Structure 1
Amino acid sequence: MSVIRGKVILVDDEAMVRQSTAQWFQVSGFEVQSFACAKTALAAIDESFDGIVVTDVRMPNVSGLELQQLIRNIDQTIPVILLTAHGDVDMAIQALKDGAYDFIEKPFVPERLVEAVDRACQQRQLVLENQRLSEAVVSETGIDSKIIGISPAIVRLKRNILKLAKLDTNVIIYGDTGTGKELVAQCLHDFGKRENKHFVPINCGAIPENLIESELFGHESGAFTGATKTRIGKFEYASQGSLFLDEIESMPTHLQIKLLRALQEGTIERLGANRSINVDLRVIAAAKCELRDHPEFRQDLFYRLNVAELHIPPLKERLEDVPLLFNHYLRLACAAHEQEIRPLSEHDLVTLTEYQWPGNVRELKNVAIRYSLDDEVSVADILMISNPKVSLDDPAELNVEHSDLPLSVQVAQFEAEVIRNALSVNQGSIKATMASLDIPRRTLNQKMIKYGLDRKNFKD
């Protein structure tokens, strides 16, 4: 049984053209519905339609351009390919601006049309899959709504979090920068018996050494210069709840001793005070390196904290979660800016799953936000701008052996350099550059805009 490459609705008022085109699509492996007019075709299209539309432009009553707009009113992500024997540049540009997927002139080369239809069908399936993933994330409850992912490593992590949350023990969380250590700590709190009390995070590496003791234990009025009033510290504020100590490996040694005493005795003293204050809290620590091997971290404190451990995998080890995570943050960003969600292209999806994400989830979140703010930029464009590892000005830098960027980004960089060199050789002549690269004007114009190339900069 042959595999269906995609579903196509074909609209053309010329019977012979409609029949021959439909037959070509069927032979090429597509499922086709043919219509002689836009009105009857429109009745077969709704939000659940999982295919694309190929329509003639010049038709009586309702033209192909009008049909395109009517389809966009139903679902603007349905790809529409326009066919015309009266093509002109202005009409093509306007149609593309209005959301057409492609614009092909009659008489067309069948292989060229099939290629465009195949790409459009793939894009439609990607859009529907992205929508399904987004809806799945929205409908999730409990820990699945907080920690996004379906990879075995993340499923295992979520299971361990729920187990440890109920035990109410001290925990050390290990993970690279940007993997979400605070989110895991928050889940340990939210799904445990202290969920209705305070969750208090503190980054030990972000507070100056001369202030961290006051931050943790508080101080009395007059305890030191500038202490004009009594201040409750994080330990006291977190009592009955959870205290999250991020980057605990950076805590000074003398404070490690005080922290150990507070955990052992369940009491703290504010700076400048003589009385002890009872505290009852759960301590969750996080580190980027193994504390048992850290030369400046006290082993007695390590064993006090290390009742249990959680290890968060870097994003590069769970790339199957990347589309889910990207859709999650894209949806949040679009909602915050009251924008419609722009679907990912096939190229974007490939780039997302090829990239190694050295900045982990934090980097992915930033890319999703930037993607939501610009309708013209691709994921590869964002990574090229934000990752300075490879210079477009030095072709030698484009050698793939010297870059860990995804293939799609490297290809885009190489393409930009090839076009730049051709423009330089041809002194900015578009016609000569088109000939030397063997590409049509429209393609060259699009790529020059994409890579920020101005022909004026290449003239004498």
Structure 2
Amino acid sequence: MPINNILVADDEESMRWVLSKALRKKGFNVELARDGEEALRLIKENVFDLALLDIKMPGMTGLDLLDRIKEASSDLLVVIMTAEASMKNAVEAMKRGAYDYLTKPFDLGVIDALVEKVSRAREMTSQVSLLKEELKDRYQLEKTIIGNSPAMREIYKTIGKVAPSDVTVLVQGESGTGKELIARAIHYNSRRLGKPFVPLNCAAIPSELLESELFGFEKGAFTGATERKLGKFEQANGGTIFLDEIGDMPFDLQAKILRVLQEREITRTGGNQSIPVDVRIVAATNQDLEESVRKRQFREDLYYRLNVIPIHLVPLRERAEDVPLLVEYFLSKICGELDVPLKRCSNEALNLLTSYNWPGNIRELENTIKRAVILSPDPLLVAGDFPGLTTRQEDGKGEELSLEGIVDVKLRGSFSNMERMESGDVYAMVLEQVERPLIRFVLEKTRGNQVRAADILGINRNTLRKKITELGIELRKE
């Protein structure tokens, strides 16, 4: 992270003048203070990268000011200047958290070397902080991508295959399905871990501002551009840029994204210099880009450059077997955030949540659970705590669950507290409850013809007769 803004605090006007002239000549923004109180006010009003503080000033000394800076948990780097070259001053300054210590008089070359040293230190500190945040996010990510359905297992496999390379990925899915989580998973499992992950929602920024947001701009490029600004591509250099809702990107701007993919360089708005960038692009959309290409709303060449590895996130209604897992995760997460005792769902409520269509997908599910946790005073959430939800069959949207999905949901609902169950013949109990309706159904369809029913079930007639007796199935009387 480069140094831009420097504060010089010294009660000697000549020292302030010399330092400000030398530093401004190097291109730095410099603010001057005559004493500690003025310096503290400037620090509160501005953001500085480096402060050069005289150790002896009227009123608040440089060391006192250093204490105030550290008390505020500021990451401002402080260099103490003094005309008294004593070990006591040096030790005291460093003990209180000064980055360095200079003895007056000093050559201006020492200041140049010091600024360079501070720049390297800030860059290293920035990288370490970034790595810590990346690792923290990665740990959280492992707990937030929830699902064990076949569709999710395939996505996990794809992430594992594509993450180590720099291939461009296009994540497609409805709003609320977790496209950014997938993009982060790709980044955190790649060689770019520890480098920036920079997300940008192309639909959330006005089209006239999107270009400068992506590519940055030079000072004076337009009214209000009082200083140079780095765009998202430069901020993501070495890492990954996530272009969310890329289907909403203006058509003319798409050509410039294509150039980045092809040439690996950008040009800031108002500039004429090509700047190389090393970024991996992961894009996402909730639109049908093939249809947009046919309607000439999206560039065909860009679509093919983005769609090297497509990942399709199925809506929640098509992986309803994951809902109980998501409910359990969100209950734990939300109760922890709200600092309330852990709540759980009744079987009836869980069945309702699993049967609902979820047009807003995982985002809607999370918000629904949060609302119920906040409004319900009881530790057990019941169906009545989720007003307005209708079952999949009632609202007529989506497809019904598969037989396996229905069984999975029922089992999870029935045995959600498995850890508190006593040892017993659960296997036989579940099989009995499945066998009884199955045999009853087949007998009904065959009008009580046991030979035909045994053939359909794939068992012999004697076994069928035994099951009818054991399960207490009443035979239909013609």
What interval of TM-score do these two structures reach, taking the shorter chain for normalisation?
0.5 to 0.7
Q: Using the alignment, how far apart are the partners of 2:139 and 2:215 within structure 1? A: 36
| Equivalence for 1:365 | 366
- Give the direction of change, closer, same or farther, for the CA distance of 1:349–1:303 in structure 2 (3 Å limit): same
CA shift digits 1:425-453 (9 cap, x unpaired) = xxxxxxxxxxxxxxxxxxxxxxxxxxxxx
1:277 aligned residue: 275
Shift, 1:379, TM fit: 5.8
SS in 2 for 1:356: coil
Partner residue of 2:153 out of 155, 158, 161: 155
Q: Which amino acid aligns with 1:318?
A: R
Q: Give CA-to-partner distance per residue, 1:91-115, whole Å, 9 cap, x none.
A: xxxxxxxxxxxxxxxxxxxxxxxxx
Say whether 1:347 aligns with 2:345. no
Aligned to 1:303: 304
Q: Counterpart of 2:173 in structure 1: which amino acid? A: G
Amino acid at match of 1:155: R
The change in CA–CA distance for 1:149 and 1:220 in structure 2 (over 3 A counts) is same
Secondary structure of residue in 1 paired with 2:317: helix
Cα distance between partner residues in 1 of 2:251 and 2:353: 42
1:273 counterpart SS class: coil
Map of 2:174 onto structure 1: 176
Paired residue secondary structure (1:240): coil
Please tell me whether the aligned partners of residues 367 and 382 of structure 1 are also in contact (alpha carbons under 8 angstroms): no
Q: 1:72-83, aligned counterparts within 5 Å? A: none
Match of 1:188 in 2: 186
5+ residue gaps, structure 2? 1-137, 401-478
Q: Which residue in the other structure is 2:104 paired with?
A: none
Equivalent runs, 1:266-415 vs 2, <5 Å: 266-294=264-292, 295=295, 296-376=297-377, 378=381, 380-381=383-384, 383-385=386-388
Could you tell which deviates more after superposition, 293-302 or 172-181? 293-302
Aligned counterparts, 1:241-260, within 5 A:
241-260=239-258
Structure 2 distance, partners of 1:263, 1:223, is 25
**AA partner of residue 356 (structure 1):** N
Q: Report the 3-state secondary structure (helix = DSSP H, G, I; strand = E; otherwise coil) of the residue aligned with 1:311.
A: strand
Q: 1:373 to 1:288 in 2, by over 3 A?
A: same
Distance 1:249 1:349 in 2: 35
Give 1:254 shift. 0.9
2:387 alignment partner, SS class:
helix
**Whole-angstrom CA distance in 2 between matches of 1:402 and 1:260:** 42
Distance 2:395 2:322 in 1: 27
Shift of 1:304: 1.3
The question of whether the paired residues in 2 share the 8 Å contact of 1:217 and 1:236 is answered with yes
Tell me by how many angstroms 1:383 deviates. Answer: 4.1
**Partner secondary structure for residue 167 of structure 1:** coil
**1:261 corresponds to which residue?**
259
Of 203, 219, 227 in structure 2, the residue corresponding to residue 221 of structure 1 is 219
Residue 142 (structure 1) shift:
9.0
The structure number with the bigger radius of gyration is: 2
Matches of 2:394 and 2:355 in 1, distance apart?
Answer: 16
Corresponding residue of 2:54: none
Greater displacement, 262-271 / 370-379: 370-379
Per-residue displacement from partner, 1:52-94 (whole Å, max 9, x unpaired)? xxxxxxxxxxxxxxxxxxxxxxxxxxxxxxxxxxxxxxxxxxx
Residue-pair matches, total: 257
Distance 1:403 1:171 in 2: 34
Q: CA deviation at 1:376?
A: 4.1
Rounded to whole Å, the distance in 2 between the matches of 1:271 and 1:166 is: 33
CA contact (8 A) 1:202 1:245 kept: yes
How far 1:382 moved relative to its partner?
5.0
Task: Please state whether the residue corresponding to 1:200 is helix, strand or coil.
Answer: strand
Task: Provide the residue aligned with 1:235 in structure 2.
Answer: 233
Cα drift, residue 343 of structure 1: 1.8
Shift of 1:145: 2.5
Point out where structure 1 has 5 or more consecutive residues left out of the alignment: 1-139, 391-397, 408-460
In the aligned structure 2, how far is the partner of 1:331 from the partner of 1:146? 12
Q: 1:384 and 1:241, CA in 2 relative to 1: closer, same or farther beyond 3 A?
A: same
Specify whether residues 402 and 145 from structure 1 end up closer, same or farther in structure 2 by C-alpha distance, changes over 3 A only. Answer: closer
Once superposed, what is the RMSD of the aligned Cα atoms?
Answer: 2.5
Distance 1:382 1:232, change over 3 A: farther
1:314 is aligned with what amino acid? Answer: P
Partner residue in 1 for 2:77:
none
> Quick one: which amino acid aligns to residue 384 of structure 1?
P
Residues 318 and 399, structure 2, Cα contact 8 Å, conserved in 1: no
Mapped partners of 1:323, 1:406: distance in 2: 18
Letter in structure 2 aligned against 1:156: E
Partners of 2:386 and 2:206 lie apart in 1 by: 33
The one-letter amino acid of 1:321's match is: D
Is the CA contact (8 Å cut-off) linking 2:331 and 2:344 kept in structure 1? no
